[in-house]
Structure 1
């Protein structure tokens, strides 16, 4: 049976609904199905029986303990995916999903009752498809040492991968975001979630940045010789701006590659810019004076976005993917996107929408007047060789890219 490895828990105070759901899960082949008629009983079951893979929970039970159950069980790491069988207002549902995200839970809202085999099978398949990706990092992080990452930087095992930014109207590549991947000789391709904590702890973020820049600028030179000018966007931590020599180091690297500042963009996460000392502001100004673009990344997820836009010399806004994820069903997300687009136009700043994953999301964004975006619907991060092939295929429309 495909779901034999899944352990499930049903939390529902309606005996008939609970019985139907338990029966359906067993018919689908779940290894073990537990049941409780309130949140307190569900917590006691988990305490005695251990964690579950999938929990189906009604948040509108009479005892109102459903949310408390998710908070306590999720915080203790006893839940995987949680299917919410209550019909809640969009804003309340979005807040519940945010709570889940903070707890590391995958929460799926508005699972219609009574459950049907087809819809439940889809959710179980979704859990199984996500499970390996969620478990992989924890098994690998503990083995990453400072010596390993230093060696990886020296041997250029930390490689740039490139995720294009697109013109949503024409499909033209407007530039690429440079992302780090570790091509580990024995562990395969590792994502930043695995090695960035070690780099940050050991103070090696500058070494990573300049290693990626060196490799990416080489690729930019290859593209230029083929008639394609390519803008490279690098992620920059706010702490790196405290180095008074940062702008000078970047200027020297550009000179060594015969590149210009206008061919670079630096993306800074706004949540890291709560306090901006004078030296950081000086670096930002110097980068702008060199012609570099400055992008405020993950816009809208922190508490100081508007203040940062007024104080710092950004000329691009990257709106966080959270707002696109619910664009079709959540009026508040559409309002935030529309307001950000209007604000960007008023401030003379380009707006890039992150996290576009479906054709429906793209069509909605186009109707709202969005012209620039990034996400898996267009392209996943790719190697430099794949990017060059992609750009050559799109020529001559790719020629003269900024």
Structure 2
């Protein structure tokens, strides 16, 4: 574990000392404390902290105002919320902090246990090393003309990486989601959020969709040669369905590339919709009629609704990570998840949970009857060749488990 500097903001002296003792007991941790939010803001201005642990209910400047002030700092430490307020209020505070660009490592009800502190510090260590979900690379502004983006697509700089989906029944990787990446010659491998706004701005979303579809089919062909049939899901902005011939174009391209529609699923993203609802339903129906799978992406966020779920011919529902994070400890999130999973099961849908980060979340989803999971606990998105190596390794480990050989790895 690397050296970590932590600030604890808690107005009650006993609670402040109690938390400080638990953090100080961990090796390599330096702890500062404050009982006043205004003082803590000043401390963050002069000292770079890796983690700030804050209460919400405090006299004077409260925890919410403190987080807002923290977001205005040049250096934003990661955050943990520790409070006796309701879980819903804690969840709302977390969403507020994340919307301001602050990474929230955890929300913990009082009293906090030593195990809570150990898990929090482990997450912090993973995040700082770049191995955990909270790690965010330094943002480098990406600028590109339409011609440069077009060339990046044509030359294969913009391509598909694949995030595994594991079955909660078998414990094996059974599917993948294709995620767009740009292997930029100057800035390295860029995630989608760094350049997709430019793709949208220059009207190249359809070109990227076709490109990712081709890359996915090519990857599936390689995996089949290894003995694996891996369905792949691909993000599709719903406003593209305004083009009535899009399902025909996607089918033609799939068949030209030697792909199988049944092994491809288009995830209708919640971030956009069509101007006319008729285009949305017509496009969804026609994609299914062509034999493609169809998923409601990010269910539980944005534009996704229960009405939309039951009135669109989906084959899969993907539960947004916002409903998954903390579900093992938050009764409200647990109940919401149980309702969504039960509804998806009654509708005959494949149920996939996104953003799974802890073993506790995985166990909760398994108990609730979720079918598949993806997230940093399983694997981040990886290139097609690395995905193929992962499949081979998992197959070998599973064979050892079935044979009962020493050192075998049980499916997770």
* Shorter-chain TM-score range: 0.7 to 0.9
Whole-angstrom distance in 2 between the partners of 1:86 and 1:18: 12
- Structure whose CA Rg is larger: 1
Q: Shift in Å at residue 216 of structure 1?
A: 1.8
Whole-angstrom distance in 2 between the partners of 1:226 and 1:47: 53
RMSD over equivalenced CA pairs, Å: 3.7
The equivalent of 1:353 in structure 2 is 353
Q: Shift in Å at residue 171 of structure 1?
A: 2.4
Residues 242 and 112 of structure 1, relative CA distance in 2, 3 Å threshold? same
Q: Map 1:63-142; keep pairs closer than 5 Å.
A: 63=60, 65-75=62-72, 79-107=76-104, 108-110=106-108, 126-127=123-124, 129-131=126-128, 136-138=137-139, 140-142=140-142
Query: SS of 2:162's equivalent?
Result: strand
Whole-angstrom distance in 2 between the partners of 1:340 and 1:325: 15
Unaligned runs of 5+ in 1: none
Contact 1:149-1:195 within 8 A present in 2 as well: no
The equivalent of 2:267 in structure 1 is 267
Whole-angstrom distance in 2 between the partners of 1:261 and 1:349: 17
Whole-angstrom distance in 2 between the partners of 1:330 and 1:384: 36
Contact 1:157-1:184 within 8 A present in 2 as well: yes
* 1:382 partnered with 2:382: yes
The equivalent of 1:218 in structure 2 is 218
Residues 114 and 257 of structure 1, relative CA distance in 2, 3 Å threshold? closer
Contact 1:15-1:37 within 8 A present in 2 as well: yes
The total of aligned residue pairs comes to 391
TM-score by length of 2: 0.80
* 1:58 partnered with 2:55: yes
Query: SS of 2:379's equivalent?
Result: coil
Whole-angstrom distance in 1 between the partners of 2:338 and 2:112: 37
Q: Shift in Å at residue 218 of structure 1?
A: 1.9
Q: Map 1:3-402; keep pairs closer than 5 Å.
A: 3=3, 6=5, 11-14=9-12, 37-43=35-41, 45=42, 49=46, 53-63=50-60, 65-75=62-72, 79-107=76-104, 108-110=106-108, 126-127=123-124, 129-131=126-128, 136-138=137-139, 140-143=140-143, 146-225=146-225, 227-273=227-273, 276-302=276-302, 304-392=304-392
Deviations 1:160-198 (A, max 9, x none): 112222221112433221111222334332221222222
Unaligned runs of 5+ in 2: 400-412
Q: Shift in Å at residue 155 of structure 1?
A: 0.7
Deviations 1:267-308 (A, max 9, x none): 012343485533333222211100111100110122541121
Query: SS of 2:79's equivalent?
Result: strand
Contact 2:318-2:353 within 8 A present in 1 as well: yes
TM-score by length of 1: 0.81
Query: SS of 1:161's equivalent?
Result: strand
Residues 387 and 37 of structure 1, relative CA distance in 2, 3 Å threshold? closer
Q: Shift in Å at residue 248 of structure 1?
A: 1.9
Whole-angstrom distance in 2 between the partners of 1:395 and 1:119: 34
Deviation larger for 127-136 or 263-272: 127-136
Q: Shift in Å at residue 128 of structure 1?
A: 5.8
Contact 1:324-1:361 within 8 A present in 2 as well: yes
Residues 370 and 16 of structure 1, relative CA distance in 2, 3 Å threshold? closer
Q: Shift in Å at residue 38 of structure 1?
A: 3.3
Query: SS of 1:110's equivalent?
Result: strand
Deviations 1:210-250 (A, max 9, x none): 11211221222334455543322101112222223311211
Deviations 1:342-395 (A, max 9, x none): 111222222112223333333332222223222333333232223334445666
Contact 1:242-1:280 within 8 A present in 2 as well: yes
Residues 46 and 362 of structure 1, relative CA distance in 2, 3 Å threshold? closer
Query: SS of 1:270's equivalent?
Result: coil
